[in-house]
Structure 1
Amino acid sequence: MASQKNVCEVLLDNLHAVGARQIFGVTGDALNPFLEAIRNDGRFEWIAVRHEENAAFAACSQAALTGGIGVCAGTVGPGALHLINGLYNAKREYAGVVAITGQISHKERSTEYHQEVNLTKMFDEVCGYQAVIDSAEQMPRLAQIAIQRAMIEREVVRIELPIDASEEPVPNLRSHYHVVTKPSAIIPPQSEIERAAEAINSGKKVAFFCGVGCREAKDAIIDLAKRIKAPVVHTLKGKDIFDYDDDPVVGMTGLIGNPGGYHSLRDCDVMVMFGTDFPYDWFLPDGPQIIQIDSRVANIGRRAAVSVGLVGTVRETVERLAPLVKDKSDTHYLDLQKNRSQRWLKAMDEQGDLSNKGEPLHPQLVAKAISDHAADDAIIATDTGLCIVWIARQMRLKGGRRLVGSFNHSSLGSGFPTGLGAVATHPDRQVWTMCGDGGFGMAMQDFVTAVRYGWPLKVVVFNNSELGFVKMEMEVAGYAYNRTATHLDNPDFVAYAKSCGGDGARIEKADDILPAIEAASKSDKPFLIDAVVSAGELVMPPHVDVKQAWGFGMSKIKEGILGLKGDHVQWDNWEDEIKAAR
């Protein structure tokens, strides 16, 4: 007769049933039984990171790339709390992540015991469900509930393993039960689909606005857009779905968008939103009819006044909508936006051309060169900050490339651990993680993790010795440059990478770029490119309003006054910006 399985062993069976194979975490006393179960099980790989927050970001990356779940773990109290920021990112990205935490024994609860934290209360904001295992009998049901919610509802869930329950045998184990692993399609009522078709048919200038929810529906959306001559605008998260080579695609709107994307939405008379919860409502029009298709009812009408809201998965909804939409022949609106987009795209390519020999180096050159030479199925993991701008404007993600990052939570320091999760998930694919120097400095302790597991991760650090995006935000808001707050004193990043057992190269001029990219591409070690770039790059949105122009102008006046008073840092800042502009 087979021996009874304990709480941790049953948990592993449930995780394995939905495809989990790796667990990112930092162990500790309360997790020791769980680690022993992993060792005896043989089906899982424990990935020992140096910080639990990085474990959570890596698990989020894995869930986003696979459509399955990611798993991370931290022990009692502080170890568990370190997970929260990365888990909040998973919540905002709708990435199904299972967080496993230890807990002190029941007899010590409410005594202010060593490292005691009420984790249920602390995780209540981030988790859609928490399974607190107080007795072994609970494990089969609670684990199934939690893991299914992560898998199907794309929620963050937490499973708490108190040290005095973890090794208890599970009695009366349900020998036959089905774990749900496949999500269902959602189809709106036919009457609402017909209303949407009527609105589209009535439009003279129809524009599509597409988000990450379109991943399974790209071909159907492009075909429909071609038929009705609608420009296709996409969000940043949709950049690895839609590309300029797809005929009606005009690119992005928003602060880092382009004029074609901006005017396609602002000037249309019917806008159709497909699978996007784009948060910047001031870039959305308030005059035209708006049709919104989303699988989550909470997203319908959240950002703009909607004429027709369809709760449905995008592919299935478009398949039923398209036959009801009449073809259009007038190409003027689409042609106008495509011309705007192509002129802008040409300007972006010129900014990133390696013939630009100016120093300090323009970051656009680095981003475009990686775009031109990375593998066709490369994964691009990104941090928050100015590196996002160069990805949006100088990089192409057509074909089999993927983009993953902290797009809604926008957590500084997320880029490097997101890359760890990507390369752990796909060690056979080329993974580039694009970081600012501020973001990399927050997570660089886990470079040794990439070395330990032999992952050939390619890390690009845009090293401008500034929190560059924050500096830009200050100036647009009308504040003078504040060197004390935004300047960074950086170490030798390449020396650091080599001291960890990896490799790297420093680039300071245009001629250094391609040799560094070639070395990184060939390296079987983690490879860091320290790109010393200009701190004076100005990022202009596709449309500058009066408030932004006024704020930037006021910041320059204030900087000039401070400079005249003896603050010579202001003159240095102006010199950097003038050099970058030239």
Structure 2
Amino acid sequence: MNVSEQLLKILEQEGVKHIFGVAGDALNPLVAAMANQSTIKWIKMKHEGNASYAAFAQGELGQNFGVCASTVGPGALHLVNGLYNAKKERSPVLAITGQIPVANIGTSYHQEVDLTKVFDDICEYQAVIRSAEEAPKIILRAIRIAINKKCVCRIELPADLAHAAAANQNFVQRVFRSDSEIHPSQEKLENAVQLIDGAKKVGILAGAGCRNAKEEVIAFSKLLNAPITHTVRASDIFDHSTENVVGLTGLIGNPSGYKGVMECDLLIMLGTDFPYGPYLPEKTKTIQIDIRPENIGNRTAVDLGIHADLKFVLQYLNEKCKLKKDDSWVNSLNKEFRSWVANNGEDASTKRDFKILHPQIMAKAISDQASDDTIFVIDTGTSAIWATNFMNFHAERRMIGSFNHGSMAVGLPAAIGAQLQYPEREIWALVGDGAFNMTLHDFSTAVEYGLPIKIIVLNNNELGFVKIEMEEAGLVPNYDALEVKNFDFAQYAKLVGGDGINVTNVKEVDNAVELAKRSDKPFIINAKVTGAELSLPPHISFGMAKNFAMSKIKEALSASKGDKKNWENIKNEIKAFIDKETAN
């Protein structure tokens, strides 16, 4: 047995089923060893960056860790973005990277990169193998840290050691996985009860840390008659139909969600490091409960911080806090939220006589037809706006993406990782055309492995979210930089062995979604949507309004001077607005 085979045996005993990567150089002994076993499958991606996104999906969705691999310097560098995404989403991922032979390290050898420096900010731990004797010890340590801290770790395997005889096999053991809880002091719990009992209007801001405490959060909300505002990452925990959920706050939030945070006299932050300061109250008393102590007080001043497992704390508070009988505020926000959801449903209905294909119509149609246990991968940008505002992640649905790192191009590769992990579930990815262009080469990987992923490309021939950012900053959109030149994505899907369909108007939407749902091949819906759809935050400050107005004035002046692209954008925005207002 060599070191590569030993590593593979360790991964096998820990339940790993897939390694996503590109073979070559230092990894060749590992890839060769995989041919002698049938438990772990090497998934040959077209690009290492996509491999790391696919591994992220498996670490995020399962009870285990995802694994990606690359060869020496240039290949290893491609892993960076997907691994940063895993770090920011707190998804356990193990990256295996090759390295030049030990004797040549530090000599500026061909393809040499100091990978320890490169990955220092990404990885919680790096198992840099420098002898066969230490290999099993530090490999197991890397896995142990990745699993128990929900983080990214890396194994560096030099080319000469990859096929060296294994040592210390007697040290190989099953990785320890902690099931311990963190409990706070009794004093902290009693202080929380006092603050809560003394408040009149309690608001809850719930994050992804509530995933294992959903029922306790709902019971807490009902006890206090407190509205639940949630973060984007918690959209599949507190869906639109959950009692007392009033939606999102932040740049892509809704009015009732914003009010649930800003109008309370006690804000309770549960399992969230919500980063948008302007959408947090400045003077309201705040309790923050988090498993990560570094998050407490990170975004706003906190009157009481509790470092503990959320479920345990909520069970205590549900038992000790007094019932708040006044439900007038939560009822008003519930009513406002239900009205907002209903209006959105009407605005995006395929039954209306729209003349223009609005992007939210596609999002709503997918939500209406997808299975109750669908996994949705939502790419960064306007895709996230339409998904969170017009889709409902109820029942056993899951939603993943790049919500903290904010990286484009997560959609397609993460869908591949998700479908391999859950072959029996529907996997839908909602992506913009800019993001899809970054990763489309691995659509053929989905074809090769027979993965019936469904990719909806919101094709508006521009970087839509960047345009919004420029307008909010008071700038004139530069369409020479924003324009995306696309080919026929549906024909491309068929060319590489999948299937696809072009959608240009609302009458084609339902049929296209049904075809994708039934397809046993990877499927692309190339939805040619308008890029003129406006999206406004739940609260518009004077500065935001001023910048947006200045941008529009500058666009009009530029158009009057002969800028055809700005003139077309203005006309399209007017047409899109009129279309929504007049459609039956």
The reply to whether TM is greater than 0.5 is yes
CA distance in 2, matches of 1:308, 1:10: 49
Which residue of 1 is the match for residue 127 of structure 2? 131
CA distance in 1, matches of 2:47, 2:478: 31
Once the two structures are superposed, the pairs formed by residues 381-392 of structure 1 within 5 Å of their partners are 381-392=377-388
Q: 2:466 aligns with which of 464, 470, 476?
A: 470
Which residue of 2 is the match for residue 246 of structure 1? 242
Shift of 1:144: 1.0
TM-score scaled by structure 1? 0.98
Q: Check if 1:577 corresponds to 2:568.
A: no
Which residue of 2 is the match for residue 24 of structure 1? 20
Which residue of 2 is the match for residue 10 of structure 1? 6
Once the two structures are superposed, the pairs formed by residues 538-549 of structure 1 within 5 Å of their partners are 538-549=534-545
Which residue of 2 is the match for residue 394 of structure 1? 390
Once the two structures are superposed, the pairs formed by residues 71-220 of structure 1 within 5 Å of their partners are 71-175=67-171, 177-220=173-216
CA distance in 2, matches of 1:369, 1:171: 56
Q: Check if 1:453 corresponds to 2:449.
A: yes
Which residue of 1 is the match for residue 39 of structure 2? 43
Shift of 1:175: 4.9
Letter of the 2:11 partner, please give it: L
* Per-residue CA distance 1:23-78 (angstroms, 9 max, x = gap): 00001011010112222132201100000000001101110001320000000010
| SS across alignment from 2:162 | coil
Shift of 1:19: 2.3
Q: Check if 1:510 corresponds to 2:506.
A: yes
Q: 2:339 aligns with which of 343, 349, 358?
A: 343
Shift of 1:289: 1.2
Range moving further from structure 2, 260-269 or 173-182 = 173-182
Which residue of 1 is the match for residue 297 of structure 2? 301
Provide the aligned length of Structure 1 versus Structure 2. Answer: 578
Listed as ranges, the gaps of 5+ residues in structure 1 are none
* Per-residue CA distance 1:436-474 (angstroms, 9 max, x = gap): 000000000100000000000000000000100000111
* Per-residue CA distance 1:234-286 (angstroms, 9 max, x = gap): 11110101123222111111111111110011000011111111111110111
Letter of the 1:345 partner, please give it: V
CA distance in 2, matches of 1:390, 1:182: 38
Which residue of 1 is the match for residue 254 of structure 2? 258
Query: Is the 1:504–1:527 Cα contact (8 Å) retained in structure 2?
Result: yes
Shift of 1:288: 1.6
Query: Is the 1:260–1:339 Cα contact (8 Å) retained in structure 2?
Result: no
Range moving further from structure 2, 418-427 or 263-272 = 418-427
Query: Is the 1:359–1:534 Cα contact (8 Å) retained in structure 2?
Result: no
CA distance in 2, matches of 1:291, 1:305: 9
Listed as ranges, the gaps of 5+ residues in structure 2 are 579-584
Query: Is the 1:25–1:48 Cα contact (8 Å) retained in structure 2?
Result: yes
Query: Is the 2:10–2:172 Cα contact (8 Å) retained in structure 1?
Result: no
Query: Is the 2:273–2:299 Cα contact (8 Å) retained in structure 1?
Result: yes
Query: Is the 1:25–1:72 Cα contact (8 Å) retained in structure 2?
Result: yes
| SS across alignment from 2:177 | coil
Which residue of 2 is the match for residue 438 of structure 1? 434
CA distance in 2, matches of 1:183, 1:55: 30
Query: Is the 1:382–1:416 Cα contact (8 Å) retained in structure 2?
Result: no
CA distance in 2, matches of 1:18, 1:317: 32
Q: 2:531 aligns with which of 535, 538, 550?
A: 535
CA distance in 1, matches of 2:544, 2:249: 17
Q: Check if 1:267 corresponds to 2:263.
A: yes
Q: 1:69 aligns with which of 65, 82, 93?
A: 65
CA distance in 2, matches of 1:59, 1:504: 26
Which residue of 1 is the match for residue 582 of structure 2? none
Once the two structures are superposed, the pairs formed by residues 45-60 of structure 1 within 5 Å of their partners are 45-60=41-56
Letter of the 1:321 partner, please give it: L
TM-score scaled by structure 2? 0.97
Query: Is the 2:14–2:174 Cα contact (8 Å) retained in structure 1?
Result: no
Range moving further from structure 2, 275-284 or 184-193 = 184-193
CA distance in 2, matches of 1:576, 1:205: 44
Query: Is the 1:14–1:147 Cα contact (8 Å) retained in structure 2?
Result: no
Shift of 1:176: 6.3
| SS across alignment from 2:324 | coil
Query: Is the 2:374–2:396 Cα contact (8 Å) retained in structure 1?
Result: yes
* Per-residue CA distance 1:334-367 (angstroms, 9 max, x = gap): 0121122122112211111113333330111111
CA distance in 2, matches of 1:531, 1:95: 31
Shift of 1:184: 2.4
